[in-house]
Chains A and B, each alone.
Chain A
Amino acid sequence: MSKMNLLQAINNALDIALSSNEKALCFGEDVGHFGGVFRATSHLQEKYGKHRCFNTPLTEQGIVGFANGLAAQGMTAIAEIQFADYIFPAFDQIVNETAKFRYRSGNEFNVGGITIRTPYGGGINGGHYHSQSPEAYFTHTPGLKVVVPRNPEQAKGLLLAAIRDPNPVIFFEPKRIYRASVGEVPDEDYQLPLGKAEVVREGTDITLVAWGAQMEAIEKAADLAEKDGISCELIDLRTLLPWDRDTLAESVKKTGRLIINHEAPKTSGFGAEIAAAIQEACFLHLESPILRVTGLDTPFPLALEKEYLPDHLKTYEAIITSINY
């Protein structure tokens, strides 16, 4: 075990991915010698050479298109998009190409070797284009897997699983807690299962679900609620596509109440999918309406970032509303 922050855990996972598979390549804008604008790829070029970890020209559609070609040939392509806000130029390559490669060819070809890593989320004074949480654009796309870790230990295990999964994965990294989230991380090579949620804290009165940096908000909200004698069950979804409906439904059948928290805007956010699926699966068990505590249906603001974010207080209020329903 070593103490690492979330970035160090990602760097460690990439190091293991490159050392354990000579077909694995890391690339993107500024990931080479410089080691990435967040330093996620620090020292990898030094260790593995320019042919394994390298800069690309500044073109997101090029980066993902290039990754598709690499993976179609059988390489393990670990691409970085500098900010999730800038993944949209590559949207066509991801949605029309990456996601449909295996299906449209009848499995004659596939790009399962792709992982796209990208820092996402607000809380860093990032304004419109350094704060977005675009996961729901991708959970609407059959053929992709979408993964979000919440802490260093999770980040390493999930990233290694994403890189080795035989399907394309978009790996969203919560940049607000890149350095703030510190924890013990096993030194060895390990993987955490994709498609499996984790019950982080057991409770009996209400279920709270979130992913990534928002796990902090629901944990704090649960602590506040506990002082009122409310027992919250906390679930980290970890994988958004395909998501673990059964673990969540099991929890809601027990507690009878559900609050979904995500940073992305409310309308058509992934929370809507969860709410619809859980009311379908748990209709007779629900004691109150499923509530969503989310970002607002506005572009991500700069000055009023704190007001925008679905923090622990907003979550706590939702808990009280749900319990008193």
Chain B
Amino acid sequence: MTDKRETAALIVHEPAFYDATSLQIPTLRILREDGTLYPGASLPEINQTLALKIYDTFLFIRALDERLLASQRQGRISFYMTETGEEAADIGSTAALADDDMIMAQYREQGALAFRGFTPDQFMNQLFSNEKDLGKGRQMPIHYGSSELHYMTVSSTLGTQLPHATGYAFALKAQQKPNCVLCFFGEGAASEGDFHAALNMAGVFKVPVIFFCRNNGYAISTPAHEQYAGDGIAPRGVGYGLKTIRVDGNDVFAVLKATQEARKLAVEHHQPVLIEAMTYRLGAHSSSDDPSGYRNKSEEDTWRAKCPVMRLKNWLIHQHWWDEEQDSQRKQFHRDAIVAAMKKAEKLPAPPLNDLFTDVYDALPWHLKEQQAELVSHLRKYPDAYPKSAGRLGDE
């Protein structure tokens, strides 16, 4: 028999319809806002070094987001997206991984990359699309990627990375590698068809993947209640045969602990997992968005009070691992490092013209060689119209 449907299921003799109330998924919360633990809650696997690294990444990301949003306002970069309010979600989950586990991000997870060691210079080179950008200046700001840091290059298309995660995880399992994929996405992206495809395939193939949903209440202007009618994203995981958990996304210990256990399930048992982290997008969707058009300030203030950074800071102070003076010094250190990197990156030229044509294929086919030659002679004729590249043609 290959038909594995449950035919011996519970039978009733009157119609009985089920809804979200039949399956209530609770929220894991460990750390209180004052920095103490909830009664009955226990810490994730964490030591002073890891705790301070997570917190330091929080501070770096806050400084990065603040400075770069301002730079976009000044017209120095074309576009930016902050992750303010959601730092515990991406950084806390990344802290549960091995360094060579693959991360596939949506776009609001620069904290994960910073935790992995992406440098201020690398961030700035991408944001300023200069010749040192690993992506060769081809994609919009915040579309980071690094093969060295096992952080898959971000693309704008929402949800497309989810089936990639399933496929990548399948390959890890096929090669018996002790690794998993952590795949981030927002609750809006979970409405895409790729979400369904990816979770269903992961469930069927039993691959080491952790789907991590940042449910921050909004997809641009669309509130969550216009995104779905069910009980959030988590129950869908159950429907696809995934192990599923909901966590307080502003509680870094809840995120860390859930992801540590999820990683064990994924890597040791090839059991795919869905984590839904409940959080709030404190900033605008992007530098092109103004949230005052669709939500009110008091709602934002409610969530500002649940700040994930403050919660961890309070805990660190209780441990006597941190104090206010260290805090302000470190914030200043990051601000200075970011400004210095920005000044450096701004001065670097755009990528050379050659980078416009390479990597479409592994090698240039005839038609691209022809188009490149045509463009070069055009630029030589009208150099003033193309200041980024025309002056550098002789170098190529």
Listed in ascending order, the chain A residues whose CB lies under 8 Å from chain B are: 25, 51, 56-57, 59, 61-62, 64-75, 77, 89, 92-93, 96-97, 100-110, 112, 142-143, 145, 166-167, 195, 242, 245-246
Take A105-B153, A109-B153 as given contacts and tell me if A73 and B171 are in contact as well, using a CB distance cutoff of 8 Å: yes
Chain B 163-210 residues near chain A, CB threshold 8 A: 163-172, 174, 181, 193-194, 196-198, 200-201, 204
Residue B328 CB within 8 A of the other chain? no
The reply to whether A57 and B167 form a contact with Cβ atoms under 8 Å apart is no
Please give me the 6 A-B residue pairs with the lowest Cβ-Cβ distance, nearest first: A69-B167, A65-B163, A62-B197, A105-B153, A73-B171, A69-B164
Q: Could you say which of B162, B165, B200, B359 contacts A107, with CB atoms under 8 Å apart?
A: B359
Question: Which chain A residues lie closer than 8 Å to B319 at the CB level?
Answer: none
Give chain A nearest CB distance to B7 CB in angstroms: 21
Contact with A along B363-378 (1 / 0, CB 8 A): 0011100000000000
The reply to whether B164 and A195 form a contact with Cβ atoms under 8 Å apart is no
The reply to whether B168 and A70 form a contact with Cβ atoms under 8 Å apart is yes
The reply to whether B133 and A106 form a contact with Cβ atoms under 8 Å apart is yes
Q: Could you say which of A65, A108, A145 contacts B164, with CB atoms under 8 Å apart?
A: A65
The reply to whether B135 and A104 form a contact with Cβ atoms under 8 Å apart is yes
Q: Could you say which of B134, B155, B201 contacts A66, with CB atoms under 8 Å apart?
A: B201
- Taking each of B167, B171, B365, B367, which has the highest tally of chain A beta carbons within 10 Å of its own beta carbon? B167
Question: Which chain B residues lie closer than 8 Å to A73 at the CB level?
Answer: 102, 167-168, 171-172
Q: Could you say which of A51, A70, A110 contacts B167, with CB atoms under 8 Å apart?
A: A70
Question: Which chain A residues lie closer than 8 Å to B360 at the CB level?
Answer: 102-103, 142-143
Question: Which chain A residues lie closer than 8 Å to B167 at the CB level?
Answer: 65-73, 77
In this complex, what residue of B is CB-closest to A71?
A: B167
Question: Which chain B residues lie closer than 8 Å to A93 at the CB level?
Answer: 160, 163, 194
The reply to whether A68 and B135 form a contact with Cβ atoms under 8 Å apart is no
The reply to whether A62 and B155 form a contact with Cβ atoms under 8 Å apart is no
| Binding stretch for chain A, among B18-26, B64-72, B138-146, B290-298 | B138-146
Question: Which chain B residues lie closer than 8 Å to A167 at the CB level?
Answer: 361-362
The reply to whether A195 and B171 form a contact with Cβ atoms under 8 Å apart is no
Q: Could you say which of A64, A96, A103 contacts B138, with CB atoms under 8 Å apart?
A: A103
Take A89-B193, A93-B160, A108-B147 as given contacts and tell me if A69 and B165 are in contact as well, using a CB distance cutoff of 8 Å: yes
The reply to whether B201 and A96 form a contact with Cβ atoms under 8 Å apart is no
Question: Which chain B residues lie closer than 8 Å to A61 at the CB level?
Answer: 163, 193-194, 197
Question: Which chain B residues lie closer than 8 Å to A72 at the CB level?
Answer: 152, 164, 167-168
Give chain B nearest CB distance to A284 CB in angstroms: 19
Residue B116 CB within 8 A of the other chain? no
The reply to whether A70 and B171 form a contact with Cβ atoms under 8 Å apart is yes
Question: Which chain A residues lie closer than 8 Å to B169 at the CB level?
Answer: 69
The reply to whether B153 and A56 form a contact with Cβ atoms under 8 Å apart is no
Give chain B nearest CB distance to A142 CB in angstroms: 5
Q: What separation, in Å, do the CA atoms of A71 and B168 have in the docked complex?
A: 8
Question: Which chain A residues lie closer than 8 Å to B197 at the CB level?
Answer: 57, 59, 61-62, 65-66
Q: What separation, in Å, do the CA atoms of A59 and B145 have in the docked complex?
A: 28
Give chain A nearest CB distance to B303 CB in angstroms: 33
The reply to whether A103 and B359 form a contact with Cβ atoms under 8 Å apart is yes
Q: List 17 A-B contacts (CB under 8 A).
A: A59-B201, A62-B201, A65-B164, A65-B167, A66-B198, A69-B169, A69-B170, A73-B171, A75-B171, A97-B155, A105-B147, A106-B138, A108-B145, A108-B147, A143-B360, A145-B361, A246-B366
Question: Which chain B residues lie closer than 8 Å to A57 at the CB level?
Answer: 197, 200-201, 204
Residue B335 CB within 8 A of the other chain? no
Take A25-B174, A105-B145, A108-B146 as given contacts and tell me if A66 and B166 are in contact as well, using a CB distance cutoff of 8 Å: yes
Q: What separation, in Å, do the CA atoms of A108 and B133 have in the docked complex?
A: 11
Question: Which chain B residues lie closer than 8 Å to A145 at the CB level?
Answer: 361
Question: Which chain B residues lie closer than 8 Å to A89 at the CB level?
Answer: 193
Q: What separation, in Å, do the CA atoms of A67 and B355 have in the docked complex?
A: 27
Question: Which chain B residues lie closer than 8 Å to A71 at the CB level?
Answer: 167
The reply to whether B135 and A106 form a contact with Cβ atoms under 8 Å apart is yes
In this complex, what residue of B is CB-closest to A242?
A: B365
Question: Which chain A residues lie closer than 8 Å to B181 at the CB level?
Answer: 69
The reply to whether B135 and A69 form a contact with Cβ atoms under 8 Å apart is no
Give chain A nearest CB distance to B253 CB in angstroms: 31
Q: What separation, in Å, do the CA atoms of A285 and B136 have in the docked complex?
A: 42
Take A68-B163, A69-B167, A109-B147 as given contacts and tell me if A166 and B362 are in contact as well, using a CB distance cutoff of 8 Å: yes
Give chain B nearest CB distance to A70 CB in angstroms: 4
Give chain A nearest CB distance to B173 CB in angstroms: 9
The reply to whether A105 and B163 form a contact with Cβ atoms under 8 Å apart is no
The reply to whether B164 and A97 form a contact with Cβ atoms under 8 Å apart is yes
Take A75-B174, A109-B147 as given contacts and tell me if A104 and B138 are in contact as well, using a CB distance cutoff of 8 Å: yes
Give chain A nearest CB distance to B68 CB in angstroms: 20
Give chain A nearest CB distance to B345 CB in angstroms: 16
Question: Which chain A residues lie closer than 8 Å to B147 at the CB level?
Answer: 105, 108-109
Residue B157 CB within 8 A of the other chain? yes
Q: What separation, in Å, do the CA atoms of A164 and B393 have in the docked complex?
A: 35
Question: Which chain A residues lie closer than 8 Å to B171 at the CB level?
Answer: 69-70, 73-75
Q: What separation, in Å, do the CA atoms of A97 and B154 have in the docked complex?
A: 10
The reply to whether A96 and B168 form a contact with Cβ atoms under 8 Å apart is no
Known A62-B163, A65-B197, A102-B361; further 18 A-B contacts with Cβ < 8 A: A61-B194, A65-B164, A69-B163, A69-B165, A69-B171, A75-B171, A92-B157, A92-B160, A101-B153, A102-B359, A104-B135, A104-B138, A105-B134, A106-B145, A110-B362, A143-B360, A167-B361, A242-B367
The reply to whether A106 and B136 form a contact with Cβ atoms under 8 Å apart is yes
Question: Which chain B residues lie closer than 8 Å to A107 at the CB level?
Answer: 358-359
Question: Which chain A residues lie closer than 8 Å to B193 at the CB level?
Answer: 59, 61, 89
Question: Which chain A residues lie closer than 8 Å to B366 at the CB level?
Answer: 242, 245-246
Q: Could you say which of A97, A102, A108 contacts B134, with CB atoms under 8 Å apart?
A: A108
In this complex, what residue of B is CB-closest to A59?
A: B197
Question: Which chain A residues lie closer than 8 Å to B172 at the CB level?
Answer: 73
Give chain A nearest CB distance to B45 CB in angstroms: 27
Give chain A nearest CB distance to B207 CB in angstroms: 10
Question: Which chain A residues lie closer than 8 Å to B145 at the CB level?
Answer: 105-106, 108-109
